[in-house]
Amino acid sequence: MTTKFERYLNHFTPLGRKVLVERVDVTLELSSGLVVPEVFARRAPEGHVRAMGLRPPGDEDLWEVAPGDHVLVGQYGGVDLEGALQIIPESGLLAIIDAKAPHGIVPLGKYVLVCMMPPEKQTAGGIVIPDKFQGKLAGGHEEFGVVVEIGGKVKLIEPDWRVHVARTSGTFYRAHGNDYVLVEESKLHSIVL
């Protein structure tokens, strides 16, 4: 039996450059095999686009997503509705999750996907970084990585550039045996020429 709210959603359309996203349940499995319910970890970063906003006349920018897309969503922002539904500005969508994509994810907007280099391959300008500084450059958790994908609104960074980035400045995930960070272009520290 459908609720009054569910019937209402069939006729619901966000306004402007906003999307209606239904968050998916995510469980986290630790290396020990213990499953941590998402409610104890943090808000589910994934969802499915249910509806797209009505844009004003003259707004000819193309949408980067479509209804049904499986997306990676920022942790904050947006308006919560009943259940797992949320209205999010288009800029709050980080990437499309796509198993057919080379790295499993396609960045959106101003986001950049960086493949983190293993410590033995981290260099600065061709000079190997000593072990005691690996992963601890400038006193933090900054490391080097290679830009593998860029969003449609990225202006300064190009694929295959080596960059200096903090893992904590973006969304970290692991796929195909590699560590990746999805980070906003403006949060990259520097490029390595």
Domain ranges of the chain: 4-97, 109-192
**Under 8 Å between Cβ of 23 and 31:** no
Confidence at residue 118, expressed as pLDDT on a 0 to 100 scale: 67
CA 84/CA 127 separation, integer angstroms: 49
Confidence at residue 49, expressed as pLDDT on a 0 to 100 scale: 92
Q: Give per-residue pLDDT as tens, 114-145.
A: 888 765 554 544 444 445 444 444 434 567 88
Average pLDDT, the chain: 75
* CB neighbour burial string for 68-89, b if at least 16 within 10 angstroms, e if fewer: ebebbbbeeebeebeeebbbbb
CA 149/CA 163 separation, integer angstroms: 13
Q: Give per-residue pLDDT as tens, 136-169.
A: 444 345 678 889 999 988 988 888 888 888 767 7
Q: Give per-residue pLDDT as tens, 20-49.
A: 998 876 666 655 666 655 554 555 578 899
CA 180/CA 173 separation, integer angstroms: 5
**Under 8 Å between Cβ of 153 and 110:** yes
CA 65/CA 56 separation, integer angstroms: 18
CA 162/CA 183 separation, integer angstroms: 14
pLDDT(75) > 50: yes
Q: Return the DSSP state at 54.
A: B
* CATH number corresponding to 109-192: 2.30.33.40
**Under 8 Å between Cβ of 22 and 45:** no
CA 180/CA 170 separation, integer angstroms: 10
Q: Which of 171, 174, 146 is nearest to 160 (CA)?
A: 146
Confidence at residue 150, expressed as pLDDT on a 0 to 100 scale: 92
Domains 4-97 and 109-192 share a fold: yes
Could you tell me the fold of the domain covering 4-97? Answer: 10 Kd Chaperonin, Protein Cpn10; Chain O (2.30.33)
Confidence at residue 62, expressed as pLDDT on a 0 to 100 scale: 79
Confidence at residue 135, expressed as pLDDT on a 0 to 100 scale: 46
Confidence at residue 111, expressed as pLDDT on a 0 to 100 scale: 92
